[in-house]
Structure 1
Amino acid sequence: MVSATAEHLYHPYRFSVDEYLRMGEAGILTEDDRVELIDGEIIDMPPIGIPHTGAVKRIANLFGRQLGDRVVLSVQDPIRIGDFSLPQPDIALLHPRDDFYASAYPEPADILLLVEVAESSVRYDREKKLPLYAAAGIMEVWLVDIPARKLTRYSEPSADGYRSVGEPDDLGKVTARALPNSPIDLDGLFG
């Protein structure tokens, strides 16, 4: 049995975003490492499968064609959430900015919509990343579950998660809340 005093001596170290970025600058982490910083923990991500890459490319292509310069389309790039998280959502639609976010990572206020595509990471995305996004106030997230062949929309963020969760009735007309006049046709998403 561990004494109460010893329990206070041992606790996991949480890396800050700045420390995490310095690991990259020092070559400890490289571009080839599939990792994300989530709540101060460096998370090793599974390899990306072909169905996942196809879905990300398809969605990014549709967003690019249908939304044009009304958004900045970010594909598998980091977003900054506070001092301890630098996740890399599969797709982020961002408010347009003249510098295209060259001066700083996008933060929750910059995000119109996040899309996470899950082939083997459905549970991780649902239980770890979505609560992080909700607590940060990210207005809407779409979770594309490839094995289940479904898209789930999460909106109305709170500290306890998203209050509104549902599947669209028609994949041919999926509309992000931040872009109400821009329905996206995702009919062929699952082949």
Structure 2
Amino acid sequence: MSVQLLRRLFTVDQYYKMLEAGVLKENERVELIRGEIVKMSPIGIHHAACVDRINELFFLRLAKTVTVRVQNPVRLNDNSEPEPDIALLQRRPDFYRTQHPQPEDVFLLIEVSDTTVKYDQEVKIPLYAENNIVEVWLVNLTQKCLEVYRQPTANGYEIVQTFKSGEIVSIQALPNVTFTVDEILGD
């Protein structure tokens, strides 16, 4: 006999009410995924350095053409608001002061993974595809490669490419701007 556990799923609005009420702390490392409040892994040294490196690369090459957000929420739907490591967004004069970015605002989301590769591949990336995020990069620090996901469908991404050291990648929305995998990984 199997036991079925009942789960209480939350909306983004309920999630913010918990923050306002003090049930969740402002600096608590959690995100809302498919209605569940998920504790995020601690940020390790290599992970932090990679996020900083990518942020600087984007700042230097894309300044004033896009908005780059680091580890801030993107509202995918009414029950998911993840915090990707990097979000490359359409530029808005208010810098999203009145609402978090939504899928139509996103050019690219990046997840940097060392200890969370499987979770990112099996949970977050399919969630991004379901919500029509046009492009996702998974910086796989353990395998020293960059996984690029494009053309979202309800069942995942139609195009999945893996780039390794020495190879060049561009952002689908900005094809004239290129990066080497070595620049992304820092090798």
Question: How is 1:57-76 mapped onto 2 (pairs within 5 angstroms)?
Answer: 57-76=52-71
Which structure has the highest strand share of the two? 2
- Of 38, 45, 53, 2:40 maps to 45
User: Which structure 1 residue ranges, 4+ long, deviate > 6 Å from structure 2?
Assistant: none
| TM-score of the pair, normalised by structure 1 | 0.92
CA gap 1:13/1:171 in 2 versus in 1, 3 angstroms: farther
CA gap 1:59/1:41 in 2 versus in 1, 3 angstroms: same
Q: C-alpha distance in 1, partners of 2:165/2:48?
A: 23
* 1:79 counterpart = 2:74: yes
Identity %: 46
CA gap 1:17/1:127 in 2 versus in 1, 3 angstroms: same
Match of 1:138 in 2: 133
Q: C-alpha distance in 1, partners of 2:62/2:17?
A: 35
| TM-score of the pair, normalised by structure 2 | 0.93
Match of 1:107 in 2: 102
Question: How is 1:1-191 mapped onto 2 (pairs within 5 angstroms)?
Answer: 1=1, 11-168=6-163, 173-188=168-183, 189-191=185-187
Letter in 2 for 1:138: I
Q: How many pairs were matched up? A: 186
Which is greater in Rg?
1
User: Is the CA contact 1:112–1:178 (under 8 Å) kept in the aligned structure 2?
Assistant: yes
Q: What secondary structure, in the 3-state scheme, does the structure 1 residue paired with 2:160 have?
A: strand
User: Is the CA contact 2:163–2:181 (under 8 Å) kept in the aligned structure 1?
Assistant: no
Q: Which runs of 5+ in 2 are unaligned?
A: none
Cα-to-partner distance string for 1:106-142 (whole Å, 9 max, x where unaligned): 0000000000000100000000000000000000000
Q: C-alpha distance in 2, partners of 1:75/1:117?
A: 11
Deviation, structure 1 residue 186? 4.2
User: Is the CA contact 1:78–1:105 (under 8 Å) kept in the aligned structure 2?
Assistant: yes
Q: Which runs of 5+ in 1 are unaligned?
A: none
